[in-house]
Amino acid sequence: MQGKDNEKFSFINEKRKEKPLNKKKLLAQLAYAVCLAVIFGLAASFVFAFFEPRFSQLFYPEQGPVVTIPKDETEMPQQEPQTETETETEAETETETESEAIGRLPDEGITLPDFQKLQNELYAVGREANKFIVTVTGVKSDTDWFNNSYESKGQASGVIIADNGQELLILTERKAITGAQEMFVTFINDVTAPATMKKYDGNTGIAVLSVPRESVNDETLHAITVAELGNSLVATQGMMVIAVGSPLGTNYSILTGNITSTTNSISTIDRNYTVFTTDIVGSSQGSGVLINTSGQVIGLVMQAYGNGSGQNTLTAISVSELKSLIEMLSNNEEIPYIGLELTTVTNDIAAEYEIPKGAYIKEVRIDSPAMAAGLQKGDVITKMQGETIFNVDSYENKLLNLQPGSQVELVVQRQGQGGYKEVTCTVEVSVLQ
């Protein structure tokens, strides 16, 4: 029985013979797969090489070389006290020198040709300075009441403050290019190049633009120069200065005159600046810079900080006090912001009004980090991050070293019924837009 069953299902036990391997077909398939892999690899490499720099630039912008602007000394070096004999000797020498100088003056006095020669020399300095002056143009697209599109342009003078080998950095006023979709810089030889915003300071309104060096031809690079930022802390009343840029609203104008005052100052948010007034008549919309007779920039013309008396004389912010700010903007750094208007409590003020020494808060900006932290008008800042604050300058220096988004601890003296008491406030540092 079993044998019959085996015979009946014998087909189940049959062995299947494997189909012989086709080596040629296998090799063809392998070659095809290799070709596809090579093509895919080449395509991927091409796509990566083409798009990777663009994505990297978009998400991780390449930082150019760091720009460093030397700072000026705010204090004169202390000198050893002189003896009475030394003082008398120096006075005699000075008198003798003055006498000799007077003796060299021509008997007929200074003539018109002398004035003309002086003026020619001043204008020569101005023409040389125009090499670092540019015209910044901002183009905005808009629509009118009838939905017709049109373009509007804003212009201001700019100054070439650095060439880091990759880009030219231009210092200008932001108000002329606010909201602009396109920005252009025109150099002394009338060549125009596209520009982009590097950074701007929402407080002072100054901005630094970037012009790629590759977009500027060799002829232009030879025609322009980089401005030298001088020491404006040594500027004095009566000092001869030259205004270049567009002080009258006309590009590449040159005006000469004198500084009439160096004692005026303005209180802006978180910082105070010295303002130079001059006897140079200019436009209320004028822009540009003041330079000394050596061609160094000592002031940034900003008519918004004038005396408001209706006189259209040029005013400029001392450039030495802007150098830290300019350096940060040139290196694409944000400017820290708390939101205080301050003045220094000097020894005399402290003694007369019985106010603690430090930085006195005149105003607290609405909706500022300072207001959110509970700081009040009339508070006197005495410590910042555990370090003593002697004046507004020390407050400014410490603030510029802070990072937006970080927290800073301020110790203030606040007046109450029983006199001043110490209050500690923690402020989150922000950026003023």
Domain assignment present for 323 = yes
Kindly state whether residues 356 and 409 are assigned to the same domain: yes
Domain assignment present for 39 = no
Kindly state whether residues 291 and 344 are assigned to the same domain: no
Provide the residue range defining the domain that includes 307. 232-330
Which positions ≥6 away from 385 have C-beta within 8 Å? 398, 408, 409
Domain assignment present for 216 = yes
Kindly state whether residues 238 and 326 are assigned to the same domain: yes
198 CB burial (10 A radius; 0-12, 13-18, 19+)? buried
Kindly state whether residues 278 and 324 are assigned to the same domain: yes
- How many folded domains does the chain comprise? 3
pLDDT cut 90: percent of the chain above it: 61
Residue 303's pLDDT band, with cuts at 50, 70 and 90, is confident
Kindly state whether residues 340 and 416 are assigned to the same domain: yes
Q: What tokens were used for 418?
A: 């029983």
pLDDT at 57 over 90: no
Kindly state whether residues 248 and 177 are assigned to the same domain: no
Domain assignment present for 12 = no
Query: For 63-98, how does the pLDDT look when each residue is reduced to its tens digit (9 = 90+)?
Result: 568 888 888 775 443 334 444 444 444 444 444 444
| Greatest pairwise CA separation for the chain in angstroms | 155
Indicate the pTM of the whole model: 0.76
Domain assignment present for 157 = yes
Domain assignment present for 397 = yes
Kindly state whether residues 214 and 242 are assigned to the same domain: no
Kindly state whether residues 326 and 403 are assigned to the same domain: no
pLDDT of residue 259: 97
pLDDT of residue 71: 80
Query: For 354-410, how does the pLDDT look when each residue is reduced to its tens digit (9 = 90+)?
Result: 999 999 999 999 999 999 999 999 999 999 999 999 999 999 999 999 999 999 999
Domain assignment present for 126 = no
Mean pLDDT of 222-241: 96
At CA 46, angle to CA 41 and CA 51, rounded to 5?
Answer: 125
Backbone angles phi, psi at 336, to 5 degrees: -65, 145
3-state helix, strand, coil in the chain (%, to 5): 30, 35, 35
pLDDT cut 70: percent of the chain above it: 76
Task: Assign residue 139 the CATH number of its domain.
Answer: 2.40.10.10
Domain C-terminal end among 330, 360, 383: 330
Which positions ≥6 away from 40 have C-beta within 8 Å? none
pLDDT of residue 104: 47
Domain C-terminal end among 305, 330, 355: 330
Per-chain mean pLDDT for the chain = 83
Kindly state whether residues 323 and 352 are assigned to the same domain: no
Among 79-88, 160-169, 213-222, 363-372, the minimum mean pLDDT is found in 79-88
Query: For 242-298, how does the pLDDT look when each residue is reduced to its tens digit (9 = 90+)?
Result: 999 999 888 999 999 999 999 998 889 999 999 999 999 988 888 999 999 999 999
Task: Assign residue 377 the CATH number of its domain.
Answer: 2.30.42.10
pLDDT of residue 87: 43
> Are residues 333 and 201 in contact, defined by beta-carbon separation less than 8 angstroms?
no
Kindly state whether residues 299 and 362 are assigned to the same domain: no
pLDDT at 19 over 80: no
Alpha-helical (H) ranges within 130-236 are: 218-223
Kindly state whether residues 236 and 219 are assigned to the same domain: no
Kindly state whether residues 156 and 213 are assigned to the same domain: yes
Domain assignment present for 255 = yes
In angstroms, the CA 210 to CA 330 distance is 9
What are the DSSP calls for 332-385, one per residue? TPPPEE--EEEEEE-HHHHHHHT--SEEEEEEE-TTSHHHHTT--TT-EEEEET
Domain C-terminal end among 203, 223, 243: 223
